[in-house]
Amino acid sequence: MHNFKLEIEYDGTRFHGWQVQNGKETKTIQHVLGRVLKKILRQDIKLIVAGRTDSGVHALSQVANFKSSTKIPLEKLRWAINCLLPQDIKVTRIQAVSPDFNSRFCAKSKVYRYTILNRKYSSALLANRVYFFHHPLDAGLMRREAKFLCGRHNFKAFQATEARLRNPLRTIKRIKISKEKDFLHIDIEADSFLYNMVRNIAGTLLEIGRGRFPKGSMRKILNSGDRKLAGPTLPAKGLCLIKVKY
């Protein structure tokens, strides 16, 4: 039995996230990919994923692994998988890994990017890939405030209120806010993330950048642990899993 690691790219617009859900099996990344693997390998496949993305969230390099006794050459296997997958899901790489590799538990950190299109008019081509915001944003102030989030903290203020109770301690290793023409990118690398954590942080930074939250707000919100004090949850379409680090 061999252990295979997949790197997967997908546009999450028409899917109900990664994980198979009751009544939504045909609209999840896991179900579609698992069905293709079963057809090619002629066996039930258990896919283990690095992190479950939510409905509408995209991935540049999601990671999953599965075990199989297949002897199909890796490049031929990747080609066969991609031939059967829809256009909005593709396997970019497949490799044999050690038997004890687990895409979830072996991951050291994940990098997510939230993209804001910051100009006076929206984009027809990127409507499902970015969040459009027409008010001017102070990127410099956003960078200064974001620094307070780096390190190990209680991120309860940025956890979805409807989420089940989980340990809110997380370590943010890096936050980078960059401008590329009309695009503002918020890159966050952490050991793991709470439900809606990136989208809530992005919403808070947006309120700071537009001037609704004063200087020093990020530290106060973080220390408060109160979700009501933080900014809105920005739409899923602007969020993309960039990389999983091992």
DSSP strand E in 53-197: where?
58-68, 89-97, 109-117, 131-132, 151-154, 169-180, 183-190
3-state secondary structure of 67: strand
How many angstroms separate the Cα of 207 from the Cα of each of 90, 123, 145, 189, 202?
35, 22, 11, 21, 9
d(CA 165, CA 113): 25
* 242, containing H or E segment: strand 239-245
How many angstroms separate the Cα of 240 from the Cα of each of 2, 61, 144, 214, 236?
30, 9, 23, 28, 9
Of the listed 54, 88, 182, 191, which one is catalytic? Answer: 54
Burial of 110 (0-12, 13-18, 19+ CB in 10 A): buried
182 is catalytic: no
Pair 4, 40: CB distance under 8 Å: no
d(CA 197, CA 193): 6
| Amino acid occupying residue 76 | K
* 59, containing H or E segment: strand 58-68
Lookup result for tokens 């999601």 = 62
d(CA 87, CA 133): 28
Residues with catalytic annotation? 54
